[in-house]
């Protein structure tokens, strides 16, 4: 198998963004704008870039396996988990279905929540044409639940930590907006203006789970983006 050869700057960039790696899994700090898995745009996905990276770094002549157990929206950054073996992928998928992989997100919002913390339980329906989700009272909507906690206020924005209890399309973006707290830069869900780089201020901040093969704890935190002025952590 022949993979695209990364130039030195691409190689170093990927190398510096690896937050955890062993023979079975790899956790990367994704940048907003990158896609995790191939889509209709035809842009190179991180899964393919990682295959090229590993092939070059490890001087691997054969096929490189990279499995994608979960994804992040294109404008979102932070921790993304990849499987390096089919066994790890199968086990991670099963762990995700059982809720055994714990993920928390940080959202920099345009308004403060009325309550400092709580749980949101809504029904969400997806509009495929708009690539957007809406809170609905219809029975066709899927259950969407999350826990949130207000962390701090910056000069103009409000930092909210979110723990997903279900995994619906654009769930955090949709539910926080419906609560009156649209995410900074997220024009699709009610933010008044975009971010200069096209991102939204939503970060996959932390992931914690028991290793699917080694049975040891994996606990990884992504750094706060430099553009999040006034946010500590």
Domains of the chain, residue spans: 8-221
Element spanning 104, H or E: strand 102-109
Q: What are the beta bridge partners of residue 121?
A: 145
The two structure tokens encoding residue 144: 């969407």
Cα angle at 217 between 214 and 219, to 5 degrees? 130
Q: Taking 90 as the threshold, does the pLDDT of residue 38 lie above it?
A: no
> Is domain 8-221 given the CATH code 3.30.2350.10 in the classification?
yes
Q: How do residues 192-222 score in pLDDT, each as one tens digit?
A: 999 999 999 999 999 999 999 999 999 999 9
Percent of the chain with pLDDT over 90: 90
Q: Taking 80 as the threshold, does the pLDDT of residue 1 lie above it?
A: no
**Residue 134 pLDDT:** 96
- Rounded to an integer, the average pLDDT of 110-128 is 96
Rounded to 10 degrees, the C-alpha dihedral 156/148/207/99 comes to: -160
Q: Taking 80 as the threshold, does the pLDDT of residue 233 lie above it?
A: no
Q: How do residues 49-61 score in pLDDT, each as one tens digit?
A: 999 999 999 998 8
Cα–Cα separations (whole angstroms), residue 24 to 55, 151, 212:
15, 34, 8
């Amino acid at each position: 198998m022949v993979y695209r050869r990364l130039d030195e700057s691409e190689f170093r960039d990927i190398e510096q963004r690896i937050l955890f790696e062993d023979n079975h899994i790899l956790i990367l700090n994704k940048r907003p704008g990158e896609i995790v898995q191939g889509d209709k745009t035809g842009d190179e996905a991180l899964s393919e870039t990682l295959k090229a990276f590993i092939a070059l770094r490890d001087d691997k002549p054969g096929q490189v396996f990279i499995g994608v157990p979960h994804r992040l929206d294109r404008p979102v950054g932070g921790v993304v988990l990849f499987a390096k073996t089919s066994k790890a992928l199968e086990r991670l998928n099963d762990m995700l279905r059982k809720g055994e992989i714990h993920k928390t997100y940080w959202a920099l919002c345009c308004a403060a929540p009325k309550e400092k913390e709580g749980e949101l339980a809504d029904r969400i329906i997806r509009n495929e044409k708009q690539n957007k989700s809406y809170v609905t009272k219809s029975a066709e909507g899927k259950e969407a639940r999350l826990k949130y906690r207000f962390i701090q206020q910056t000069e103009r924005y409000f930092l909210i930590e979110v723990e997903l209890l279900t995994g619906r399309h654009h769930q955090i973006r949709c539910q926080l907006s419906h609560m009156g707290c649209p995410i900074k830069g997220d024009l699709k869900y009610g933010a008044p203006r975009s971010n200069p780089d096209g991102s939204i201020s939503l970060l996959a901040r932390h992931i914690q789970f028991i290793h699917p093969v080694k049975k040891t704890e994996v606990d990884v935190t992504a750094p706060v983006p430099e553009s999040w002025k006034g946010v500590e952590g």
